[in-house]
Amino acid sequence: MELEWLEDFLALSTTLNFSRAAEMRNVTQPTFSRRIQSLELWLGVPLVDRSTFPVTLTEEGKSFRRTAEETVQTIYRERDNCQGLTRHRRSFMAFATLHTIATDFYPDWIKTLEAEFGPLRARMLCAPIHDCVANLSANNCDFMLCYFHPSGPLLLDGAQYPSLKVAQERLIPVSVPDASGAPLYALDGPADRAVPYLDYGPQTFIIKLVRMILANQSQGPVLDTVYESAVVFALKAMALKGYGLTWMPETAVAGEIADGKLVCAGSSAWTTKMDIRIYRSAKPLQREAERFWRFLAERRADKPETA
């Protein structure tokens, strides 16, 4: 077994996307896939379920992830010790969040914060929202990052789990463009026409906001659901193939919109804003996590929220 296999697996377990993980590891996707397969052969079990989109970790993969993290950390720490180097051994802070926040929001957000806070060691747990809440409630993580909207479901008791707004995100309808650059599937226009629709699962947070948007319209097309998934990446993939329109967090499709692969499928009446909030337990956290929370609270106080 090679160390790079473990590092590859940790990248894949964070992104759940072979292409993104290969890019993170600066190798081609075929090379990256072969190294993941080599690790699985060495262990004798599949670590990744490739039948889903995005891919998911198997139960063995979930169990092995912590071992891989600890092994990589130990090896690099001992290497530094052998070389006579000193490394400031701050403990890791654990975040639970949705895959789309982990990949489309967190990297730029944390890079900006580190310019003031200093280097931060983080462990990311990516899961559906109810699993994120369960991880925070069970003290399996220090913080949870998730979307929030006043009209959305109340996930946690604010007294037991205080939160801070760290960013604001737009939820927008998107479609592939037609030959003229207009949305192929548009929300504005004659009412009662059927438009193919890529829907979220019934237990997702975003579906609640989409239903709120639709309820506020006096007229609109008939959304004909042709595909349903609780996974943002899956819906985006289908939208890019031209199967219909869907709603997306704007950061999740910023690159595709900039490249002209997707366009906004409706006016501002079909969009809404939602917060990205960070939650914690009211109980004391480890020292570095408490310092990070105070930093966020002070930074937020310097920039009052606007309506």
Largest CA distance in the chain: 72
How confident is the chain (307 residues) per 10-residue block, as mean pLDDT?
86 86 85 92 91 85 88 76 55 88 93 91 86 86 92 77 94 97 92 90 84 89 93 93 96 95 96 95 91 90 45
**How far is Cα 104 from Cα 152, in angstroms, rounded to an integer?**
21
- Say what the pLDDT of residue 267 is: 94
- 168-274 — its CATH code? 3.40.190.290
What pLDDT score does 140 carry? 85
pLDDT in tens, 65-104: 888 888 887 887 777 667 665 444 446 899 999 989 999 9
Does residue 243 contact residue 227 with C-beta atoms inside 8 Å?
yes
- Domain residue ranges of the chain, discontinuous segments joined by +: 1-89, 168-274
- Pairwise CA distance, residues 135 & 252, whole Å: 24
* Residue 124 · residue 98 · CB < 8 Å: no
Q: Does domain 1-89 have CATH number 1.10.10.10?
A: yes
